[in-house]
Each structure stands twice: as structure tokens, then as C-alpha cells.
Chain A
């Protein structure tokens, strides 16, 4: 995809992807874009799963996802007002020399709602957003010891990509 094609796709598809999203799943929960009242439950579920509350981070991500022309997608799975899961993704282009692709930054499912396809349905919905926005590649980054999360993404079909993540500690 060229730069021009990418920007045309971005203008044409991003709104359609979001507004066509709300969908009642066969398991009687809804996958839709996150609304402000969901935020507390997202913060709470994320804190339960990761052990670190990050209310400011999630508020910023929510606000970014609501900016006009935003390529961020903040989706939730909800059943009768109860948050079952959430996912956050964004289309990013040209960083690390990469063609436009959809990054999945986070996915979380209520431990009591696991093995009910909530994670898979959220993943599918995010893929639909990316696909409708014109990108054909998705990426994520996972801690090497996060076996459950890595197994989840592997089961969705993700394989190692052409990039290797490197890091170092800065000397003080």
C-alpha cells in the first residue's frame, strides 16, 4: 500500500469501521466501541489482570480513540452492563520502517469469563476494524514470560514477525 492509498483508506474507512462495529455475539454479549462509563470497569479489570492500576493511561487512550480521524480503536465486550473484556489497538505507519499495520496494544478478559470466546471475539472485532481501515497486517508485542497471552495470540494465528525487540538499561 502506498502512502497515498493508505491516507485515502484512512479517511474512507475509519468512521465506517467504528460505527458498524456494535455486534451482539452468539454468547449474548455485545462487542462495541468503549464509552466513557466503561472506563472505570476497564481500569479495574486491567488492574486485576496486570496488578497495576493505570487510570490516567486508560483515560488518555479513551480520549485519543475519540478524536476525529483517530486510528485508535478501543473496544469492549459487555453483557448487561458488566464488562467482560476490552482491547486497544491502533493503526501505525512507517515506524521502525514498517508499512501501515494494526497494532494490538492490550487485550484483557475477565478471568471469570475466559474460555467463552470473549478474547477471540474482541480480537476478531479489532481485525475487522483494521481490515476495514485498509491494513492487512496486525502486530503485537508480548512479554516473553506471559505464556497465557502468547498462547492466546498464537492460537489466533500470529507468528513471529520480521522485527526483533531490543533494549538496554541506561547507566545513571
Chain B
């Protein structure tokens, strides 16, 4: 599954901010993940409008996570930036009205369903646990 750049920026920003109690600047987040600071700033503004992050201006200003980490899911974040796992999504394409087209749609809809179920079951808090487990696994010799 290939995510759009803005979606990846948003997920990284939310995870980074949720993992920290205080504020972080867009520059700090951009540097860690090798992101474009300008693009990240736009994404953060969008997340701010959605109430997921809060910004403060001035010296020491930055962003902080404003959501509920145990409730906010990957799907909530991702679907702001792109349609995710919407069965039957997209424009009508040649062949859609044939039996073969409908059969193909059944299979692709199954995949979309699973994608949606997966992303809607993983909260920010769960993602941070997965990050910690991944870090531990990587730290083990041969991990």
C-alpha cells in the first residue's frame, strides 16, 4: 500500500508529537524524518484545523498533540489526506459493467475492507507501542 506524501508527513508528525509531552517545532520533526519543512508546515496546519494538533507562536513556540491517543486511529489521520479503503471508490472504468468487472470489483473491495478495518483498529497509542517494540527488536543482536 503506497501512501501519499502528505499522509506520511501527517502520521509521522502525529506520532512524534504524541510521543512528546511538550512542544516540538516543525523543523525538528522535518529533520528527523527527512521531510520538506514547507510541506510539513502545510500538513500541520491541516491537522490543526482538524483539532489533532495545536500550534503556539513566538519564542519556544511549536506544535503539540491535541488528540486522544487511545481514540485517534490511523484511519482518522489518513483519510484527511486521501480516500482510504472505500469500497467501490474511484471513477467508473472500462469493463466495470461486465461480469468480469464486477467480479474484479468484489475482490478489490475485499482488500479495501480489510485495509479499512486494519487502519481503524490501530490507535496512535497502539502505534507508539509498535514503535517501541520495533525499536527493541532492532536493538537486539541480530534483530
Query: Which residues of chain B have a CB within 8 Å of any CB of chain A?
Result: 70, 73, 113-114, 117-118, 120-123, 125-126, 129-130, 133
Contacts and interface: CB of A to CB of B under 8 A. Distances in A.
A145 to B, nearest CB: 7
Nearest to B125: A155
A154 interface: yes
Contacts of A147: 117, 120-121
Given A151-B121, A151-B123, A155-B123, A144 B129 contact: no
Contacts of A157: 129, 133
Nearest to A159: B130
B117 A154 contact: no
A168 interface: no
A144 B113 contact: yes
A160 interface: yes
A145 B130 CA distance: 22
Interface in A145-172: 145, 147, 150-151, 154-155, 157, 159-160
B117 A150 contact: yes
A144 B117 contact: yes
A155 B126 contact: yes
Contacts of B126: 151, 154-155
8 contacts: A147-B121, A151-B126, A154-B123, A155-B123, A155-B126, A157-B129, A157-B133, A160-B118
B129 A145 contact: no
Given A144-B113, A144-B114, A155 B120 contact: no
Contacts of A159: 130
